[in-house]
Amino acid sequence: MSASGIGAGFDPALIKGSDNFLQREFPMSAKNYQAISAKVYETSGIVLSETKQEMVYSRLARRIRALGMVNFNDYLSHVEQNINDECTSFLNSLTTNLTSFFREKHHFEYLQNTVIPALKAQHRIDKKIRVWCAAASTGEEPYSLAMVFQEAFPTVAKWDIKILASDIDSNVLQTANAGIYDHSSIEELSAERQRKWFRRIGDDKVEIHPGLKQLLTFRQLNLLDEWPMKNKFDVVFCRNVIIYFDKQTQKKLFSNIYQQMMAGSHLFIGHSESLHKVCDQFKGLGGTIYKHL
């Protein structure tokens, strides 16, 4: 999904190929698409542009088919009438979850070479470090964080290190919590990391080492809701999230994140993202890495 303004409404003429959508298995009108976009924005802050109609149709058509319904009008009524139950499935269907182990490698290198040595000195007495991965998806990112911290703290048992891994999508969190992946997903990792942190199961699957799971807590969390966390964080990864939000939502999100972080802590965002004109409470360090002022 890409971020752009929703506007007052969608004119059918703006929806390319709208006649085709009306003639498909489940007719989707311009009014339907406007209602879907408005509901996504209301519940998650994600902005859908008119260019995402194909993705929206294909993903929600599967849900409509599974429920035995015949059109988008009935499905949208179902969402409104069963908001507590169906809204989760609605958002799960539309959430994009593209991730991989050690994606944007320079972030993990900076964490290993610069941030963690500073944290060791800062917390040499209390030995307590808190990390938040705010868009955990299917788990590759938080497990990558766990590998870096385990490798940096050979005597990790002497430290109180916890990584909160949250996501709005409950389905991907089930995958993350299980910690089972295709073997092809780790082929780019070093042989040492493959051997140390993964166990082969079957011909084409691998399972995460239990030692990594001990550092992680997976929780469903909508970033627009009130957050239950009491601790402040030393490191926050919130990558490839704000590209789905409008400017107002971005400002609110990073103001809240700032309040949830320790002084001098570090924030990592996606390679195509920026806090320019979004939040001036962080100092940019380059490479989409920011420091809490």
| Contacts (Cβ under 8 Å, ≥6 apart) of 125 | none
Give the pLDDT confidence score for residue 58 in this predicted structure. 84
CB 267 within 8 A of CB 290: yes
Candidate list 63, 167, 169, 234, residue with the active-site label: 167
Residue 76 scores a pLDDT above 70:
yes
Give the pLDDT confidence score for residue 94 in this predicted structure. 76
Q: Which fold has domain 12-94?
A: Chemotaxis Receptor Methyltransferase Cher; domain 1 (1.10.155)
Closest to 144 in 3D by CA, of 219, 197, 200, 191: 197
Give the pLDDT confidence score for residue 242 in this predicted structure. 84
Candidate list 59, 74, 193, 246, residue with the active-site label: 59
Q: Is 167 a catalytic residue?
A: yes
Site of tokens 């994009």: 96
The CA-CA-CA angle for residues 216, 240, 141, to 5°, reads 25
Domain ranges of the chain: 12-94, 105-292
Give the pLDDT confidence score for residue 4 in this predicted structure. 31
| Contacts (Cβ under 8 Å, ≥6 apart) of 265 | 232, 233, 234, 235, 236, 291, 292
Closest to 28 in 3D by CA, of 45, 52, 4, 8: 52
Q: How confident is the model at residue 151 (pLDDT cuts 50, 70, 90)?
A: very high
Tell me the per-residue pLDDT of 242-287, one tens digit each, with 9 for 90 and over. 877 889 999 999 999 999 999 999 999 998 899 999 999 999 999 9
Give the pLDDT confidence score for residue 12 in this predicted structure. 35
Which of 3.40.190.10, 2.30.130.10, 3.40.50.1370, 3.40.50.150 is the CATH number of 105-292?
3.40.50.150
Residue 147 scores a pLDDT above 90:
yes
Q: What are the tokens at 215? A: 């550092």
- Convert 10-26 to b/e letters by CB count within 10 Å (16 or more is b): beeeebeebeebeeeeb
Give the pLDDT confidence score for residue 20 in this predicted structure. 59
Would you give the end-to-end CA distance of the chain in angstroms? 31
Of the two residues 234 and 241, the one the predictor is more confident about is 234
CB 197 within 8 A of CB 209: yes
pTM of the entire predicted model = 0.77
Q: Is 160 a catalytic residue?
A: no
Residue 131: phi and psi, rounded to 5, are: -130, 140
Tell me the per-residue pLDDT of 11-65, one tens digit each, with 9 for 90 and over. 333 344 455 565 678 888 889 999 999 988 888 777 787 778 888 888 898 889 9
| pLDDT above 70: percentage of residues in the chain | 90
